[in-house]
Amino acid sequence: MDQEQTKLVPAVERATRILDLVARNRSHPNLSDLARELGIAKSSVHMLCRTLVELGLLIRRPDQTYQLGPHLMRWSNAFMEQSDVATEFASIWDRETELPGATITLTVLEGNEVVYIAARNSDISHSLVDFRAGMRLPAAFTATGKAFLSHMSDFEVKRIYADGLPPPRTSSSVQTVEQLLAELRETRERGYSVDNQQVAEGIICFGASVLDSRNFPIAGVAVSLRADELIDRERTIANVRRIATRLSARMGADLERAASRRTRVG
CATH number of domain containing 38: 1.10.10.10
Name the pLDDT band for 91 (thresholds 50, 70, 90): confident
Write down the pLDDT at residue 119. 83
Distance between CA atoms of residues 190 and 210, nearest Å: 16
Domain closes at, from 79, 95, 122: 79
Q: What is the average pLDDT across 212-240?
A: 87
Per-residue pLDDT band at 195 (split at 50, 70, 90): very high
Percent of the chain with pLDDT over 90: 53
Q: Are residues 53 and 90 in the same domain?
A: no
User: So what's the pLDDT on residue 262?
Assistant: 55
Q: Looking at residue 183, what is its pLDDT? A: 97
Instruction: Return d(Cα 252, Cα 254) in angstroms, integer.
Output: 7
Backbone angles phi, psi at 96, to 5 degrees: -95, -5
The stretch 167-188 carries a mean pLDDT of: 96
Task: Read off the pLDDT band of 127 (50, 70, 90).
Answer: low
Its pTM surpasses 0.75: no
What is the Cα–Cα distance from 141 to 194, expressed in whole angstroms?
9
With cut-offs at 50, 70 and 90, classify the pLDDT of residue 236.
confident
The total number of residues shown for the chain amounts to 266
Give the HSE-up count for residue 66: Cα atoms under 13 Å, Cβ half-sphere: 29
The reply to whether 210 and 141 lie within a common domain is yes
Domain that holds residue 63: 2-79
How far is Cα 202 from Cα 225, in angstroms, rounded to an integer?
9
